[in-house]
Chain A
Amino acid sequence: MSDNADQPQARVTVQPGVQGCAVILAGVWRITAAPPRWTDCVGGEKPARVTVVMDAVERWDSSLLLFLFEVQQWCRTHGAHCDFEAVPAKVRTLLGQLVASHETSVPFDRSENFLTSVGLATQDAWKKVREIIAFVGECVISAWRLVRMPHKFRWRDCVDEMQQCGAMALPIVSLISFLVGLIMAYQAAVQLRQFGADIYVADLVGLSVVREMGPMMAAIVLAGRTGAAFAATLGNMKANEEIDALAALGISPVDFLVLPRIVALGLMMPLLALYANCVGILGGMMVALGVLQIPPAAYWIETQSIIDLSDVNTGLFKALTFGLLIGLAGCLRGLQADRSAAGVGRAATSAVVTAILLIIVSDAFFAVAFNILGL
């Protein structure tokens, strides 16, 4: 196949006559080559009649139609007579279609006035709140069914998900937790050293990691990793009508798809948080040893003295809550996704944002609640 460069180009010759001008079209007209412009061809002339002849055209496509359309428009605005008699009938038919689509093609106005926008946004927000309430309700009912009939639960899917969101997340959770422990210890070391309170690095790192940072970092990693994956998977399943297929069989998508995922995350999050706690403390220990020359045994004894079981429990309780929230957000956004590629992308993004928002809000709630309860 030869390309434009080695093919004859479209040619236009304007021959002035007594009653007007004859426009002789010739050559190969290709839309991918630069098309001739009628305004350039006619220059400043204003003929009373324009007759188009295209016998010498070897090949043509839409570029020729556009040129003829330009000639026609020019004749209309300049009051010239446009003669397309010599143009083949099928070209004239296509030109007619182009003129028709030009006249009927009115851009579709999707803009709304301010009040309408506010109204629609409010309706939309209310609809979303109702959807969230309904979804949480469905999950609770589904969980109740699980308690009553545990043999009906899809344990196999749940175990697969546990492996995906638990075991497979260990490397990234290790790295993040270790670095967070290390960063905290380093920051603390610089300050505490000034007061000769080096050993309290262990207290600071231990308490912060066990009560806050361990569960929080594990949750943030899982929100990005697992929450997004849940939303993308369910969103794609919705786009492929797999969710509809379940509903058509009378199987609740929440029982089949959502609960195994939420249970898996609920079980794995505390374990991951516990693991993150250990790795975070290890990170702190490394800095204590390297920067403050505190032996690991001393660091460990100090850590043990400051952390009691209630600290660990509050952290694990938070982790469980975060896990459930990530699972809920991921599955909800997945089931709400539009049936398109862009919809799946938006669902995944929205799942991560929602999960992180819920994690931070619930963490703030826990901070106040535990303070009041003296935990």
Chain B
Amino acid sequence: MSALNPNHTRSGGPAIEVSGLVCGYGEQTILRDVTFNVARGEIFFIVGGSGCGKSTLLRHLVGLNPPTGGSVRFLGAAFSEADAATRRAQLRHFGMLFQGGALWSSLTLRQNVALPLEEYTSLTRREIEELSALKLGQVGLSGYEDYYPAEISGGMKKRAGLARALALDPEILFFDEPSAGLDPVTSRKLDELIVEIRAMFGTTIVVVSHELASIYDIADRVIMLEKQAQGIIAEGAPRTLATTSADPRVKEFLTRGTGKVPIL
């Protein structure tokens, strides 16, 4: 969702409130007592080493897996404890970019972007086509509207996935490992796109990543998860954490074990 006045999006309480969240699959608990808030219009990173539960936390946040305990609230309204119909109504305000783009392989890029618009709006077919082309243009995929996902590269798939996530002008955007499998230039462009989306629409952005370049470049604030601790071990601005954190695990991760903030 957009706002003419950028301050508008930053008012009215946090965009995401997570308290005491317990994440796991079946009997297995992966994260315990996860509590944090994300302010409106913030670029918020969930970081940590492989297998620490970053993607699991994201899946539990957006309701792809039911949390075992705790609660998630979006824009002041209960989400994890709400009934299915309420959750479905709330879902249209989110956009999510999956690791591999998760495009529907039997649909063209235009149809991929158009599907949420067809599902949730009363726009005419022509308007939907124009908007789909606009969204694809915004992520730099003009001219590829009628290609199938199998006909484009991995980076393009990711950008097309982002165009689909942007289709309904979401208020909150979730990214699962946006840099995974991308070259540094494409990865950097995606980071710029994320910042641009925030500047243009005031969107709240939550990114799961362990890419230090992205973390230092665009994150306003990060939380760091750790496997043994089964939860958050640090929270704050990445550079501040890297230089002032007393926790060796945080320091090691954010400085690649060198003790200094890497020059990226």
Chain A interface (Cβ < 8 Å from any Cβ of B): 1-3, 30-32, 34-35, 54, 57-62, 65-66, 69, 88, 90, 94, 97-98, 100-102, 104-105, 107-108, 110, 338-343
Highest count of chain A CB atoms <10 Å: which of B76, B79, B127: B127
| Bound CA–CA A97/B137 (angstroms) | 7
| Bound CA–CA A339/B74 (angstroms) | 37
Asked if A1 meets B75 with Cβ closer than 8 Å, knowing A31-B121, A32-B168, the reply is yes
Q: Are the C-beta atoms of B130 and A105 separated by less than 8 Å?
A: yes
| Bound CA–CA A180/B133 (angstroms) | 57
Q: Which of B183-206 contact A (CB under 8 A)?
A: 200-201
Q: Are the C-beta atoms of A62 and B149 separated by less than 8 Å?
A: no
Chain A's closest residue to B169 (CB) is: A61
Q: Are the C-beta atoms of A34 and B122 separated by less than 8 Å?
A: yes
The smallest beta-carbon distance between A34 and chain B, in angstroms, is: 5
Chain B interface (Cβ < 8 Å from any Cβ of A): 1-4, 8, 74-77, 79, 89-90, 92-93, 105-106, 117, 120-123, 127, 129-131, 133-134, 136-138, 142-143, 145-147, 149-150, 168-169, 171, 200-201
Q: Are the C-beta atoms of B122 and A101 separated by less than 8 Å?
A: no
Q: Are the C-beta atoms of B8 and A62 separated by less than 8 Å?
A: no
A sample of 5 inter-chain contacts (CB < 8 A) reads A31-B123, A35-B123, A60-B4, A69-B130, A101-B137
Point out the residues of chain B lying under 8 angstroms from A32, CB to CB: 92, 120-121, 168
Shortest 3 CB-CB contacts between residues of A and residues of B: A108-B146, A61-B169, A340-B105
Q: Are the C-beta atoms of B136 and A101 separated by less than 8 Å?
A: yes
Point out the residues of chain A lying under 8 angstroms from B130, CB to CB: 66, 69, 98, 101-102, 105
Chain B's closest residue to A104 (CB) is: B142
Query: Contacts A61-B169, A110-B146 given; 15 further ones with Cβ under 8 A?
Result: A1-B79, A2-B77, A31-B121, A59-B3, A61-B201, A62-B134, A66-B123, A101-B130, A101-B133, A102-B130, A104-B137, A105-B129, A105-B133, A105-B142, A340-B106
Chain B's closest residue to A55 (CB) is: B4
Asked if A66 meets B77 with Cβ closer than 8 Å, knowing A32-B92, A61-B1, A340-B105, the reply is no
Q: Are the C-beta atoms of A1 and B74 separated by less than 8 Å?
A: yes
Q: Are the C-beta atoms of A104 and B138 separated by less than 8 Å?
A: no
Asked if A107 meets B146 with Cβ closer than 8 Å, knowing A66-B131, A90-B200, the reply is yes
